[in-house]
């Protein structure tokens, strides 16, 4: 996301977040303060100072406008503490590759990061990952994937569903360490005969469940950044809002047995907010409600409880 995109996005959020009533309230409150000060000074026989303030009304107008900008400044990060767990669930609006912590990169079930040139022509997370971290050289990423599979052959052998076509189970996770950061390649879609990827609702749920299971055993307990998977090239028949809610509920359910990361951060690209008319207030309220109303038991070896449905 370029600097122009950032400014444009913040301007849109600011404009959509204000109203004539809010503008009026802020200006009237500032001028009310001015009037109060003038009245007090007049009461204590300070007409010179009160006249000076009256003539400087424009200063208070600027103060009112500044107050409006401050009160309605666009937020890009919405964190929520999960009740009875030392974990956060958050939404961030921005570029996923500018995020801290580990990042999930969706990939097809063949771990094919070229797919006969289709990936390089797409606008997928995988394509941007290859461009930014591998200088558009998908062969280098393929080499890293093969090295990881060979180094942990015993682990990945149970995820192979077709040895001849090198096809892996949905939910297979292959970690790649690049530029001092972990990237988890997550198989969440299948390829058809035309080499087009497809992610179903079942694929989404299975891939998320396998991701949490992997992190519980093999993950490093830090922040995990997750895109709204399956909604782009995955052709998932769910809206972005529905996918975000599905991710949140799946993650909260995975915390039944304990926490495996410090924070799950779901990243939304700024363009998606306007293009798909996402209501960020609805999403944040959904997260707040479910994070504060979990029913996890405390101080038990096998806690029970699920997030609200």
Looking only at the bridges linking them, the beta strands covering 181-191 and 102-108 are: parallel
Q: Provide the pLDDT for residue 18.
A: 60
Sequence-distant (6+) residues with CB within 8 A of 57 are 31, 34
Q: Which of 156, 154, 222, 221 is nearest to 185 (CA)?
A: 156
Rounded distance between C-alpha atoms, residue 151 and residue 269, angstroms: 35
pLDDT in tens, 6-26: 666 666 666 655 666 666 776
Q: Is 282 helix (H, G, I), strand (E, B) or coil?
A: helix
Average pLDDT, the chain: 84
Residues 276-305 have a mean pLDDT of: 78
Sign of CA dihedral 10, 15, 17, 21: positive
Three-state DSSP class for residue 174: strand
DSSP strand pairing (160-162 vs 197-198): unpaired
Exposed / middle / buried, residue 168 (Cβ in 10 Å: 0-12, 13-18, 19+):
buried
Tokens linked to 171: 């939910």
Q: Largest Cα–Cα distance in the chain?
A: 95
The string of pLDDT tens digits covering residues 189-212 is 998 888 888 899 999 999 999 999
Q: What is the DSSP letter of 157?
A: G
The answer to whether 105 touches 173, Cβ cutoff 8 Å, is no
The rounded percent of the chain whose pLDDT value lies above 70 is 82
Partners of 183 in the β-ladder: 103, 176
Strand, helix or coil for residue 189: strand
58 versus 245: which is more confidently predicted? 245
For residue 29, CA distances in Å to 33, 36, 59, 64, 68 come to: 6, 10, 14, 8, 11
pLDDT of residue 270: 82
Averaged pLDDT for residues 67-85? 83
- Give residue 188's pLDDT band: very low, low, confident or very high (50, 70, 90): very high
Report the candidate in 21, 28, 22 with the shortest Cα–Cα distance to residue 68: 22
Indicate whether 302 pLDDT > 50: no
User: Looking at 58-62, 192-196, 224-228, 275-279, which range is the least confident one?
Assistant: 58-62
**How much is the pLDDT for 222?**
86
**What is the number of H-type helices and E-type strands within the chain?**
11, 10
Asked whether the whole model's pTM tops 0.85, one would answer: no
Does the pLDDT value for residue 44 go beyond 50?
Answer: yes
Q: Average pLDDT of 291-298?
A: 83
pLDDT at 235 > cutoff 80: no
Which of 57-71, 130-144, 150-164, 228-242 is the least confident region? 57-71
């Amino acid at each position: 996301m370029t600097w122009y995109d950032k400014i444009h996005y913040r301007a849109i959020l600011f404009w959509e977040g204000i109203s004539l009533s809010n503008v009026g309230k802020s200006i009237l409150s500032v001028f009310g303060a001015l009037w109060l000060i003038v009245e007090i000074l007049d009461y204590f026989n300070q007409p010179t100072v009160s006249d000076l303030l009256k003539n400087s009304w424009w200063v208070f107008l600027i103060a009112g406008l500044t107050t409006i900008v401050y009160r309605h400044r666009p937020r890009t990060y919405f964190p929520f503490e999960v009740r009875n767990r030392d974990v956060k669930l958050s939404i961030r609006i921005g570029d996923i590759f500018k995020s801290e912590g580990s990042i999930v990169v969706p990939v097809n079930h063949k771990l094919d990061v070229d797919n006969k040139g289709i990936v390089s022509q797409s606008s997928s997370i995988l394509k941007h990952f290859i461009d930014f971290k591998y200088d558009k050289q998908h062969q280098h990423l393929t080499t890293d994937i093969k090295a990881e599979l060979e180094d942990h052959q015993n682990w990945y052998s149970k995820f192979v569903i077709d040895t001849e076509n090198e096809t892996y189970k949905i939910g297979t996770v292959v970690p790649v360490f690049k530029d001092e950061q972990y990237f988890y390649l997550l198989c969440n879609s299948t390829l058809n005969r035309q080499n087009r990827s497809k992610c179903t609702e079942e694929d989404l749920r299975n891939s998320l469940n396998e991701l949490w299971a992997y992190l519980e055993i093999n993950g490093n307990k830090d922040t995990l950044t997750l895109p709204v998977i399956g909604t782009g090239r995955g052709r998932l028949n769910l809206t972005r809002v529905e996918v975000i809610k599905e991710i949140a509920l799946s993650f909260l359910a995975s915390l039944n047995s304990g926490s495996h990361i410090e924070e799950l951060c779901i990243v939304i690209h700024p363009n998606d907010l306007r293009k798909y008319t996402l209501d960020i207030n609805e999403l944040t309220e959904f997260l707040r409600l479910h994070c504060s109303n979990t029913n996890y038991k405390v101080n038990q070896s096998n806690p029970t409880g699920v997030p609200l449905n």
